[in-house]
Amino acid sequence: MLARSSLVLAASMVVASHASAQALPAEALVAIVGAETPQEGTDLVLLSDVDLRARLDLGPNGLTVAPTRALYAATLDEILGEILIAREADRLNASEPTDADVRAQRDRLVATLGGETALATLLARIGADASEIEAIAHRRAIVEAFLRANLEGSTTVSDARVEEVFAGGDHPFSGMTLDQAREPLRAWLAVRALSEDVARWVSVLRDRTPPRILVVLDPGHTTRGADRSEDEAQDLEDDVGIE
């Protein structure tokens, strides 16, 4: 559960509508993280990176459904969040993920899409390389390990908190008794709390290292954190505990 929610990074995916997106350039530099221009030490996001990730997040539909601009924009937010956390992990000299950690992340990507054959078909169809999947898995393994180490307490939910939320009714387990709902509700609360903490981390890191967005993937999409005041950013930084 920790792994799944940390990878979401509190950027709930915008489900693609069936309307076709307007044409985007075949390839473009979409965003730069770490500087205003590409240079040593920066992370670059290409449109092909966003397209691959969007299709992976669509699951089996990624083989046949063209991502919309809304999905592209949400996917870019997800990628930028991962990059920022990976850069923070590097800044703090966090341990590298193990080969097993990276394999586990790759296995999740493959399972989401529907298996190795589906992955090979997708890569061939969009002209992507298997090394790109390995890079995604490696970065996700870094992110997951870093979040597990720094947000471990987010998944601890007391019996008192479970009972309080159950009594309040603000949960998806109506119709169950407290005993029936206790553990599912505890897990649900843990995931929600972790997602909120991850979102706050990403917001703080975006304020510290604002990504430069070069291509607007969805004119109706607002980049998170772009309009936050310095006071709001400092309050978040104090709350989250980033030094």
**pLDDT tens digit sequence for 81-112:** 999 999 999 999 998 999 999 999 999 999 98
Q: Which residue in 202, 192, 194 sits closest to 237, CA to CA?
A: 202
pLDDT at 199: 87
Higher pLDDT, 31 or 23: 31
Q: CB neighbours of 66 closer than 8 A, spacing ≥ 6?
A: 20, 21
Please classify residue 24 by burial: count the beta carbons closer than 10 Å to its beta carbon, then call 0-12 exposed, 13-18 middle and 19+ buried: middle
Mean of pLDDT values over 23-36: 79
Asked whether the predicted pLDDT for residue 231 surpasses 80, the reply is no
| pLDDT value, residue 148 | 83
Find all residues with CB under 8 Å of 170, minimum gap 6, and list them: none
Domain ranges for the chain, please list them. Answer: 2-153+210-236
pTM, to two decimals? 0.72
> Taking a C-beta distance cutoff of 8 angstroms, is the pair 128, 155 a contact?
no
Given a contact cutoff of 8 angstroms between Cβ atoms, the answer to whether 141 and 97 are in contact is yes
Instruction: Check residues 223 and 213 and name the one with the higher pLDDT.
Output: 213
What is the side-by-side strand order in the sheet with 212-213? 43-46, 29-33, 212-213
Burial class (CB in 10 A: 0-12, 13-18, 19+), 15: exposed
Q: What is the mean pLDDT of residues 146-157?
A: 79
DSSP 176: S
Identify residue 97 by its one-letter amino acid code.
Answer: P
Give CA–CA dist 148/179, Å, rounded: 29
Strand partners, 43: 33
* Percent of the chain whose pLDDT exceeds 90: 59
Return the closest-CA partner of residue 151 out of 201, 103, 96.
Answer: 201
- The pLDDT, as a whole number, for residue 56 is 94
Environment class of residue 81 by beta-carbon count within 10 Å: exposed (0-12), middle (13-18) or buried (19+)?
Answer: buried
Confidence of residue 163 (pLDDT cuts 50, 70, 90): very high
pLDDT greater than 50 at residue 229 = no
Nearest to 185 by CA among 164, 209, 154, 204: 164
